[in-house]
Copies of this chain bind each other. A is one copy, B any other.
Amino acid sequence: MTYHAAAFAALADPTRRQVFERLSAGPAPVGELARGLPVSRPAVSQHLKVLKEAGLVNDRAEGTRRVYQIDPKGLGALRAWLDQFWAVALDAYAAEVERQSNEQDDE
């Protein structure tokens, strides 16, 4: 459940986000992913490895191809972390706005 750290690091890279966004449209083999990107196929392989270790994608063998698809696990961990802070952040923000309107009373 500490997946969110790896997921953040993985999605921080623009190329990896492109790969991920492409995969959200459906499963694809490595070569096809590389064809739509300005980097070499080994680079895509390395990116996919990072995404996989972050729980963001799965892979399955299909003949000589290796098909990757999105894994909801990593995305879920990210969402959980975000939601946890979303509520708190809004509360803190609201409290701050409140504090500012009472400013003359405090000081």
Contact = CB atoms under 8 A, between A and B. Distances in A.
A72 B96 contact: no
Interface in A2-24: 5, 8-9, 11-12, 14, 17, 20-21, 23-24
Contacts of A92: 23-27, 69-70
Contact of A12 (B9, B79, B93): B9
Q: How many copies does the complex hold?
A: 2
A89 interface: yes
A61 interface: no
Contact of A72 (B5, B14, B90): B90
Interface of A: 5, 8-9, 11-12, 14, 17, 20-21, 23-27, 69-72, 75, 78-79, 82-83, 85-86, 88-90, 92-93, 95-96
6 contacts: A8-B12, A24-B89, A27-B96, A75-B85, A79-B83, A82-B82
Given A8-B8, A9-B12, 20 more contacts: A5-B17, A8-B11, A20-B85, A21-B85, A23-B92, A24-B85, A25-B92, A27-B92, A69-B92, A69-B93, A70-B89, A70-B92, A70-B93, A72-B86, A72-B93, A75-B82, A75-B85, A78-B82, A79-B86, A82-B82
